[in-house]
Structure 1
Amino acid sequence: MRNGEEVKSLFFDVCSNGNMESYDLLYKLMCTKLIHFSAAIIGSFHMAEEVVSDVFIMLWQKRERLSNVRNPLMYIYVCTRNLSLNALSQRKKHVDYETLDRDALAMAPDIEHRIISTEVAQIIEKAIRELPTRCQLIFRLVKIDGLSYKEVAELLEISTKTVDAQLAVAIKKLSSAIRLSMPNDLLSAYFQLR
């Protein structure tokens, strides 16, 4: 089951049935990604953990009224963004995505389950960390968190063309950086297993 479909299934089970097990699974599935997203905005992992906790408390409290939400993944990300902005400052309504906390954007640990080796994961993560901040955020939201271009555009309040352009830049830079830093034997082995 794709991440978005799993989120949708768990979300609706929580909202329709008040299923605490689904609530726990939803939290475990999204927690790390949301904390990194929030921390990139706020600049503090401690505050981000509180924000994500508040998002899930709110979700549980309002669960019966949320069964009509069409895109639960996007809904949870928008709630996280909004609570992060509130935590950052009551007056600040716009985030400069160029100045986000790069360390907070660090890849969630589950990436290694999808990659053949820790060495490859480290090379890829290093290349991702070298991307411009906004580009890195967009890459992670689309390619790692599984949001669509449209969802990322709505979430970051930018156009889908900007998302597409930033993703193209990210992929071009990552391809180049990975080719340059990955030993030829490891690169060959990686692509043969694909």
Structure 2
Amino acid sequence: MEAQNKQMLKDKNSILKNIRKGDLQEFENLFRKYYPLLCRYAFRFVRNTNQSEEIVQDLFCHLWENRKDISIHSSIKAYLYKATYYNSLQVLRKKKVKTQYENYLKQRNTDHSQLTSTLEENEIYSIVQKTLANLPDRCSKIFKMNRFEGLKYKEIADQLSISVKTVESNMGKALKSFRKSLKDYLGTIVL
């Protein structure tokens, strides 16, 4: 058993030494041996195949780029698994922060759009009230009967004892006044 441990330690040291020297073949052997295993391990945390592969690829890139400075005190396998674990947790933390920020922005935009909508509605209501107040009495009454009470022109004419043509004429005047006063909002409201 002790002989096997010494052989593993020697293998680890020689693998690391060769990689530190820039032995690409040794590095590729290490990559081929652990890449699929580490991808499956990372997937257990992030639950996304692409992210899992990216985590492991980044780990191996980091290992190669920093090969001269990296010191591994345990086995290479333990180092790779531990690094994969920490990198997976880091991805999860970033994802959580991103999700929280997106939710914050959605909430903020919803609040902002509701506020804007309410302000716009209040402004339109104010303009409608002013326009109604500036219309002649009969014109205002006819408009209210048609648009607010839902009466047809004939019903309005009968109630006010006027002709349908007079109702049409007054509605035309009222609508013209509303179009003029609400010209900035015509895309959002229907008269």
Query: What TM-score, normalized by structure 1, do the two folds share?
Result: 0.41
Which of the pair has more CA radius of gyration? Answer: 2
Q: Which has the higher contact order (CA 8 A, sep 6+)?
A: 1
Q: Give me the TM-score of the superposition, normalised by structure 2.
A: 0.42
